[in-house]
Amino acid sequence: MDRRHFVGLVVASAFSPFALAKASPVAASALGNGISLITGGGANVVAFRGDEGLLLVDGGAAGASADVLRAALSATSTKKLHTLFNTHWHPDQTGLNERASRDGVRIIAHENTRLWLTRKIRADWLTGSYGPFAAKSLPNKSFYTKESIDFGGESFEFGHLGQAHTDGDLYVLAKNANLLVAGGVVSNEGWPVMDWQTGGWIGGLVAAYDRLIQISDDATRIVPANGVVLTKKDLQEQRAMYFTVFDRLVKMLVKGQGPDEAVAAKPAQEFEAKWGNPDVFVRASFKSLWGHYAPDA
């Protein structure tokens, strides 16, 4: 690993709970249909080739953004970035915005994501703060429910997933390629960030899985924020796991229990062997219920 890759990963690790575990250089792998998966930049980035140039879903962390863009351009044999999606506001997804804005790139995000990026953000899981972005680096195309664009002969549908792991999560579905980029709602490397302080909550996470499952079929390839590509069956299994944890936490909340008691009860114990220690996720998920349920005690 050369110094540039190392520095990029150190910067990414300040924000990403997965970056230190991954610790790999930026690399590209082909997904077919002129599509590439870029890894090692903090989170998964998906690159699409078109006559207009390059379309990216997410941009990686700021410290790795130059390498991410270089790898994506090379893998897709394109010369310029045309469109960039931010699937949510997190640093591993929006780190390319500043660089992209210099070239007048179209940056698409949900309106809630755009709004978060206009302010200084602090959260329990975040080292320090993030933002605010300069006006020119903000998403310049925002939406509320669902929209679509055509690019490079592909039809892209993108839609809001509601309050899920943030309140600005979106998916991007490449219909012809039958490829679904799920953003931060779906992780395949350990427990996801439950960002309750920026509108995420575990009940909404389950609902977002329902939406993703609904728009998938058995042949759909699903790209998570972290880890390898998934199938609809994988989504269904993860959805069942999150619902189990959600159901147990609600029952504890309505009995008047608190976050420490929820963690001690180990509501995700049977999933630890595969997904690792769930305590951070459980604590944040319990807190995420506060805006949606009231205890009976």
> Per residue, what are the HEC states of the chain?
CCHHHHHHHHHHHCCCCCHHHHCCCCEEEEEECCEEEEECCCCCEEEEEECCEEEEECCCCHHHHHHHHHHHHHHHCCCCEEEEECCCCCHHHHCCHHHHHCCCCEEEEEHHHHHHCCCCECCCCCCCCECCCCHHHCCCEEECCEEEEEECCEEEEEEECCCCCCCCCEEEEECCCCEEEEEEEEECCCCCCCCHHHCCCHHHHHHHHHHHHHCCCCCCEEEEEECCCECHHHHHHHHHHHHHHHHHHHHHHHCCCCHHHHHHCCCCHHHHHHHCCCHHHHHHHHHHCCCCCCCCC
What residues of the chain score a pLDDT lower than 50?
A: 1-22
Q: Which residue has the tokens 């996801």?
A: 192
Q: Which residue has the tokens 């055509």?
A: 150
Q: Which tens digits make up the pLDDT trace of 148-162?
A: 999 999 999 999 999
pLDDT at 234: 98
Compute the distance between CA of residue 100 and CA of residue 29 in angstroms, rounded to an integer: 22
**Cα 110–chain centre separation:** 13
Q: What is the pTM of this model?
A: 0.91
pLDDT at 296: 65
Q: Which tens digits make up the pLDDT trace of 246-263?
A: 999 999 999 999 999 999
Structure tokens at 265: 């009860």
pLDDT at 24: 77
Q: 140 CB contacts (<8 Å, ≥6 apart)?
A: 106, 107
CATH topology of domain 3-237: Metallo-beta-lactamase; Chain A (3.60.15)
- Domains of the chain, by residue range, sit at 3-237
pLDDT at 223: 98
